[in-house]
Each structure stands twice: as structure tokens, then as C-alpha cells.
Structure 1
């Protein structure tokens, strides 16, 4: 219980501060939590992903509200809408086709390389850049993010922000607000699929499909509270330090996925 409260607070803070959902932290914690409650391992990992997506979706709505005056809705909607198609594919692949651990290993190494690049690559943010981003590139990014989001139980910000910043030269703070705007869109299809997939009953977890309502609703109040804190302090932090902080969390996510 204490662990869920702490991780809920961390996820709420980084969701608004860095635009990442924290699913890479939440999924392994929920997996071990469900195992400790007697859920079979093959079911526990899918419940961890489904519950993570459900929690991230609800929390993202509050992050969206707290950051509503800074959003880039055009870019967020473009990534989110194409991410919907990818989300359905990713959820299907995880439930029916691929073993989740293989995807985790590959993606984990990718995140580690990405975090190192963010830390050591010299990059100057143009703080006031407001130009439109290429729609085709946003579409492709959204589709790939949607697949990985549903396969790994993440909100997609850990993919979108560094991709926008490194590949498309979008300033880090704008990339964060784009990510905040698209997370609720891109996680919603995965939530629906996991909720309506049939599994055995676990009465103490009050599950709907692969989503444990009791677990998610324990996390949510702390996520929401600290989401507001993150939104309040984001603009007060230097862009350079936001990059370093983002890189650290991406590195942690990569390490968690390969271990």
C-alpha cells in the first residue's frame, strides 16, 4: 500500500513536469504487486499493463487540465489520432501474439542509448519556436508510439518527447506540452481493449478485464495531487535541467525494462 502511494506521487509529478506518464515505473511495480497477491505471472503482466494504462489515462486528463493554457493541440491531436490505430495493434499483439518480455528488452536498450544521447549531445533549444511540425512525421511518430504504448503499458511521452526534440528539433518545453496533450488520446484504445478482454476473476482486486479498479483508484488521488505540483513548477525550471531530468528518467525506464 505504501509503495503504491509513493509511486502514485512520483507518477503524478513527472507526468506534468516532464510530460511522461511513468508507466515504465508503474508496470514492473504492479507486476510484482499482483504476483504477491497470487495472480499467475502470465496474467499478472497483462493486468499490470492494463491497470497502468487505465491509471495513466485518468491522470493524464488532470495533467491536461493543469497545463491547459500551454498546449499545442494541433500537434497533440495529430500524434494522438494516429496513435489510436497503433494502440489497437499494440494491445492485440501483446494479448494474442508476442511475448511481452522480448519487446521490453529491445525497447529498454533503445531508451538507454536515447538517454545517453540527451545527456551528452550539445543542443540549443529555441525557446520561442512556434512553427508547425511536419504532419507526416507527426503521424508516423504517433502510430509507432501507439503500438509501443499498448504493448508496454506506457503513456508514450517517453517516446514522443525525445523524438520531437532530437529528430524534429522541437524545444523541450513545447515537446513536453505536446506529450501532455496526446497521452489521454493514445492510451484510451488500449484501456478499452484491456478492460474488455476476458480473464479469470480476482474479487479482491475488483478487476474489469485486465484492469484492477481497486489498485488504480488507490494510486489516482496521489497522481492527481502531484500532477498539479509538477505543472506549477515546470515553467520555473531551466530547459537544460529539464533535459537532464528527462534523460535520467528515460535511463531508469530503460534499465527497468532490461532487468
Structure 2
């Protein structure tokens, strides 16, 4: 029954990703924290396992999303690779720190704060207009931006799109469509870099076998979410042309705010 819920979660994540133009990590992580708590997995393991499994989901879905956007010529692969390599380094560093030095309770609180910050951004999301022709940013700006986004990725188990897209549009002056596509190309590398410490960790818990875990990554749960997510993302894109996405962002932002608050206040 629980795995059916994971599959349905993947469908929801895919539709929302296409509909709202964001990655699904900020949905997957809290859902997995609650799910692993329900399975009586200790908080120390559950939170890190949610982060690692989320990065696995993000890695798979970003491959599919980048391919789709590349066909539409929305990916500047040179920028994506430059930022992605630096992001991979940053996410590996922060992922290693999380796996080895931070407690599950602290991570849960940090993620709750991040969710609240994301929710405020979604509630107040401005209507961004397309800028002119794309001009690739300065190399130094790409390197610095990629590294900082990577630190964020490995630290909280997200792909980084919620940070990458605003940075690309507001700071690096990408057109919004090019920013969305290029961020997905970059996330392939950043999520992989963050994933490595979670895969290589040795949590030493019996439940890891029943969930087909490698380190802090449940391959079974990840695939249950990633496959339907990748499949249904195109439906979200179609819905975005028919619905008022800004209103949906605000509604979903309120939900995220409440989830983030719950994660902070119920850390025991």
C-alpha cells in the first residue's frame, strides 16, 4: 500500500514540476520524512535517507526534463556543464558534511526553514518577462553561481532548481525558458555530485535491505517516484497553458509553509 502511495506521489510531483516550472525535491523530501517516520525508522536515518533518495529522484527526472527542453533548444549546454561541474563539487562537499557530521534533528529543522523560504518566494512570485536575445554570462559568474547552488543541493537534498532559476534570471540575465532548461542540464551534474556521499555511506540498519538501499538511498522508493514523475511531467506542461499558474503557486506556497512549520515544531 505504501509503495502505491509513492507511485501516486511520483505522479503528483511530475504534474506539479511541469505545471509550476520547479523541481520536485521540495515535495519529495518532506513526504519521505513522514513516510520513513511511519515505518518507524529512526529520525537520524529517516531524514538523511529522505535527502539521498530525493537526490536520486531528481537525478533521474532531470535527465528526462533536460532531454525534453534540449529538443526545444531551451538548454545552453556550455553554461549547464560549467555550472554543473562546479555544482557537483559543491554538492559533494555539502553532502559529505551532512552524511558525516550533522544530526537528523538539525537537518529536519534546516529543511523546514528552507521550505518556509521557498514558500514565501512562491507566494510572492513575480511575473517575469522574457529578456532579449541570450548572451552567455561571464565565466567567473557561472563558476561562482554553480558552486553555491551545488552547496545548497547537497545540503538539503533538492535539485537546486528553486535556487538556480531565480539566480539565472535575475543575476545571470537568462531568458526564463532558457533558465528552466539550462538549470535542468546543470542539475544532472549537481544532483549526481550530492548523491555520491549518500550512496557511499554505511548507515548500518536492517531496514536498508527491505527498501533496497544503497547507503542512504532507497533505490526501490526512488524508482517508484521517479518513473511516474518523469512520465507525467509533460501533462503538467500542458496544464500550465490552461490554468492560472501564479494562483496555483500561491496556494501551493501556503501548503509548503505549513509543512515547513510542522517540520520545525515537531522535531522529536
SS in 1 for 2:197: helix
1:205 aligned to which of 204, 207, 211: 211
Structure 1 residues 177 and 145, CA gap change in structure 2 (3 angstroms): same
CA offsets per residue over residues 33-64 of structure 1, 9 Å max, x none? 11222211110011111111111111221222
1:125 alignment partner in structure 2: 130
Verify the 8 A CA contact 2:26 2:115 in the aligned structure 1: no
> Where does residue 226 of structure 2 map in the other structure?
220
Alpha carbons 1:125, 1:171 under 8 Å: kept:
yes
Structure 1, residues 179-211: CA drift from partner, whole Å, max 9, x if none? 111111110022121111001231221111111
| Pairing partner for 2:87 from 83, 88, 100 | 83
Matches within 5 A, 1:23-62: 23-62=25-64
Kept in 1, the 8 Å contact 2:61–2:230? The answer is: yes
Whether the 8 Å contact between 1:18 and 1:246 is mirrored in structure 2 is: yes
Q: Does 1:153 align with 2:157?
A: yes
Instruction: Determine whether 1:136 maps to 2:140.
Output: yes
Residue from 176, 181, 184 that aligns with 1:177: 181
TM-score (norm 1): 0.85
Does the CA-based 8 Å contact 2:33-2:46 persist in structure 1?
A: yes
Equivalent-residue separation in structure 2 for 1:169 and 1:246 (angstroms): 23
Gaps of 5+ in 1: none
Question: Which residue matches 2:265?
Answer: none
Aligned-residue RMSD, C-alpha: 2.7
Partner SS for 2:125: helix
